[in-house]
Amino acid sequence: MQPYPHHYLVEAHAAATGHVELGAKGLAPIASAPPLEFGGPGDQWSPESLLVAAVVDCFVLTFRAIARASKLEWTEIRCHAEGTLDRVERVTRFTKLRIVAELILPAGGGEDMALRLLEKAEQNCLVTNSLNVPIELQARAVVTEQPSTKG
């Protein structure tokens, strides 16, 4: 890892109408537009969906790093996030972010440890730590069945 501070440069380009093109060095561009809720087309990423995507992506990547450091064996994580946008004191803002995570463990996996690490990932996610919004985590760990030993 490189020493802090890290800097991230993202550029935006747009005409008077149409989508906004977002870009960063070495990355494929992303088209962005207002969501349906704000009269947009609803078929492109919006600032709102990008923010919620950043939350769930950061959560998964943070969990992956914590699980590796803790030597937790796992096979898959299924995760989604939901952001609630509302008006508070005449300001439109996110009022809640909910992360729902299901972690699949191999047979004999440690469910208690897995749940602790999922909670630790939520607490250490740099994106959620940078936002002024309550975060709710709903997590569960599922151990896969041992292979059948019929003979």
The conformation of residue 59, written as its DSSP 8-state character, comes to H
How many other C-beta atoms are found inside a 10 Å radius of the C-beta of residue 102? 15
Q: Spell out the per-residue pLDDT of the chain, length 151, in tens.
A: 899 999 999 999 999 999 999 999 999 999 999 999 999 999 999 999 999 999 999 999 999 999 999 999 999 999 999 999 999 999 999 999 999 999 999 998 899 999 999 999 999 999 999 999 999 999 999 998 765 444 4
Start-to-end C-alpha separation, the chain: 50
Q: Could you tell me the residue ranges of all domains in the chain?
A: 1-45, 47-151
pLDDT digit string, tens, across residues 95-122: 999 999 999 999 988 999 999 999 999 9
CATH class of 47-151: alpha beta
The conformation of residue 45, written as its DSSP 8-state character, comes to B
